[in-house]
Amino acid sequence: MPSVGDITARLSRAFNIDKAAGWDPVGLQLGDPAAPADRVAVCHEVTPQVVDTVVAADIDLLVSYHPLLFRPTTSLVAGSGPSGRAYRLIASGTALLVAHTAFDVLPGGTADRLAAALDLEDVSGFGPAWGADVSKVVTFSPAADVDAVATAMAAAGAGRIGRYTHCSFRADGIGTFLPGEGADPTAGLPGVLNSEPEVRVEMLAPRSLVGAVVAALVAAHPYEEPAYDVIDVQANAGFIGRRGTLRAETTVEQLAAVVADRIGGVARIAGTGTVRTVALIPGSGGAMLRETDADVVVTGDVSHHQARDALAGGTRIIDPGHAATERPGVRALYAAVAKSVGTALDFTNVDPDPWKEA
């Protein structure tokens, strides 16, 4: 029987969990990685009704699209809020794995499934979801030693981009140095200016691992005093939005009716007229309305002032609600989990949206 940790590792690779936004608490939120995971279920959001269903079904691992604990908490006690729901899951022996923005940006994930639901063509990404804090570690090595240095850095955690490891950039150049009194240079003589062919090596690393990467670099480097730089960067983000083209021009009102029919929800519109290009942002996309030049944006949770600002810039809006824009992706999430683990219970339609029609 696979463990919680086994399935977490498998799904984390499948969902490319490192591509999640840096602010997003994805991955294993609750539970014991060593515990068995015989019964797996998938939900849209960990609501009280979902927790009731999970406990009754004796689920070992719950895979949720939305995080349960979004903000830091100092206690887990019985109650009705997120921490109380977390307490119930722990007490029932249920682990919780979160996909969220990792699945949003994933090819074939939430954003792509929303685009497919509306039959968009020529689809491309926009709106980078910047990942966890990352740095670029740069050093300069003799050509004969560069592979050993880069391999040591990779073993310490540098050079991982998505599903690839040992990623580096290398460029030839000339390094100069004048060894001072008491120096023991690998090449050259003390007191003599030396020019040495070197290779510049650049590798990305999570900021939390930079110390280990630098230590590995220095240990593997042949120089007595290797030069290196650490530069904080934003790099290799996945795109949380999609932009595409409708097969034929239509009106905002007609497209809103299609949106409501295809993904559910009750679509609000801001602006009128004909549209051909469409931008899609699953969930809450109000802050990203100005990041695209599409004729209309389909997203949820748009505020009054965000709508006014978008209209002033010439962008129309269709807002069918937060949960509705995620629904095609959540169905894809269930299918992906069920395929990976063999079988999974589908709780994605259990209380997925707090809004109801009057």
Q: What is the mean pLDDT of each run of 10 residues along the chain (358 residues)?
A: 96 94 96 97 97 98 97 90 96 98 97 98 97 95 97 97 94 95 88 94 97 98 96 95 98 97 93 97 96 96 96 96 97 97 96 82
**Among 298, 320, 322, which residue's Cα sits nearest to residue 310?**
298
At 64 the pLDDT is 98
Burial of 245 (C-beta count, 10 Å sphere; 0-12/13-18/19+): middle
* Residue among 164, 170, 163 nearest 203 (CA): 170
Q: Residue type at 96?
A: L
pLDDT at position 162, please? 84
Predicted pLDDT of residue 157? 97
> 46 lies in a domain?
yes
Measured in residues, the chain has a length of 358
Same domain, 305 and 189: no
CATH number, domain containing residue 279 = 3.40.1390.30
Residues 11 and 80 in one domain: yes
State which of 214, 233, 252 marks the end of a domain: 233
Number of domains in the chain: 3
Q: What per-residue confidence (pLDDT) applies to 214?
A: 98
pLDDT at residue number 132: 87
Nearest to 142 by CA among 217, 70, 209, 200: 200
Residue-number span of the structural domain to which 88 is assigned: 4-102+327-347
Are 312 and 272 part of one and the same domain?
Answer: yes
Please check whether residues 197 and 333 belong to one and the same domain.
no
Cα–Cα nearest to 17, from 102, 133, 88 = 102
**Same domain as 97, residue 55:** yes
Domain membership flag for residue 173: yes
Other beta carbons within 10 Å of 74? 5
Q: Are residues 242 and 120 in the same domain?
A: yes
Q: What is the reported pTM?
A: 0.90
The CA distances from residue 326 to 11, 87, 111, 322, in Å, are 19, 27, 8, 7
